[in-house]
Amino acid sequence: MNPRTRTTVILLFIAWCIDYIDRSVISVALPAIGRDLDLDHGQLGLAVSVFFIAYAAVQIPGGLLADRFGAMRIAVVGLLAWSLFTGLTAAAASFGTLILIRVLFGLSQGIFPAAGMKLLAERSTPQDRMTANGWVNSSNAVGGVLAMILAAVLIPLIGWRGLFVAVSVLGLVVTFSFVTKMPAPLQEVDLAPNPSNGGTALLKVPTMWLYVLAFFGYDVLIWGTNSWFASYLQEERGLSASSAALLGLPAGLTAAIVIVLSGRVSDRIGGRIRPLVIPGMTIAGILIILLPHVSNLVVYVLLSMVAVGCSSPAYIGAFSIPLKQLNPALPESDRA
């Protein structure tokens, strides 16, 4: 892997880890937030959901902004803004303020993915792009693991408000490193506009829509499960916040390993990852349906780990087509 690509992978990996830590710690803190602000399950569910609604709403505008003003500028704005709103979560004094902060937090994080994808495409070649992407996107799982560890350690010490302040400070530190260490784009990577390979042409690729559906299914399955995993263990199984957080570690570690391996496999089979996505998502879907009926805690954790691991290739699959489409020099046969 090119040294610039390697440095970019490291910086994006760290930034995405902070992204996932910031959005994941609330899953462990939800019961404490509910008690502190006197919120019911419906209100807590809405506090989680509004983030994802805002996050989804700015995905396309975020890509347009990255093209218009540069991926680096938009990525840094996103990092700074979401670190700020993570910290402000600690100041929430009512349901209304919590919702407002979570919406602004979602908007801030939502502009980062397209910018991050472009940063990687500008600093990698097609031959190693999916391997690089696998390492970067393993941050999804690693960030979730780190979020569980931080929550398990910090909530008993400084409470849920202190947790959000600590994570906010960590985000600001990472932003400084991101700004000062990001290398220049590779000269051999041509990302100039090309009418035959623009966004409109990409929407006409049938395989692209299959991966959109796979990513949608992945997000529904993974984030739906992750958002309530720790809360479920606390409220239904009587575990402490720390214990519930630590029991989420096996699934996160499994996902990290599978995502990295999926990226490597994708490069070896020409970027085609459908053979991994379809069976993996099918198995994961079946296991998620079975989970509420599992009474044994050990079996519950093991099945969660298998479900997350089986669904993880869909994460790479969703990004494989856009990343390859970004390079207009890529042969047509490799684009699907």
pLDDT tens-digit series, residues 288-332:
888 888 888 889 889 888 888 888 777 666 655 555 554 444 343
> What proportion of the chain, given as a percentage, has pLDDT over 70?
82
> Which residue, 20, 81, 68, 2, is CA-closest to 259?
20
The Cβ-side half-sphere exposure at 188, using a 13 Å CA radius, reads 8
Structure-block tokens of residue 281: 């998502």
CA distance 197 to 126: 15
Alpha carbon distance, N-terminus to C-terminus of the chain: 23
Nearest alpha-carbon partner for 313 in 264, 268, 270: 264
Report the distance separating Cα 48 and Cα 227, nearest Å.
Answer: 7
- Cα–Cα distance between 262 and 276 in angstroms, integer? 8
- Taking only the tens place, the pLDDT of each residue in 5-28 is 999 999 999 999 998 888 888 888
For 204, phi and psi rounded to 5 degrees? -90, -5
pLDDT above 50: residue 140: yes
According to DSSP H, which parts of the chain are helical? 3-37, 41-57, 59-69, 71-89, 95-110, 112-122, 129-137, 139-181, 199-203, 206-235, 241-246, 249-268, 274-290, 297-311, 313-325
Q: Check residue 335 and give its pLDDT.
A: 39
46 vs 237: CA distance, rounded Å:
23
Q: Specify the pLDDT at position 220.
A: 76
Higher-confidence residue: 282 or 88?
Answer: 88
Q: Decide if 320 contacts 205 (C-beta within 8 A).
A: no
pLDDT digits (tens, 9 = 90+) for 97-110: 999 999 999 999 99
The predicted model gives 53-65 an average pLDDT of: 89
Taking 80 as the threshold, does the pLDDT of residue 83 lie above it?
yes
By the 8 A CB rule, do 267 and 137 touch? no
Q: Is the distance from CB of 215 to CB of 229 less than 8 angstroms?
A: no
**Helix, strand or coil, per DSSP, at residue 198:** coil
Q: Rounded distance, CA 247 to CA 35, Å?
A: 22
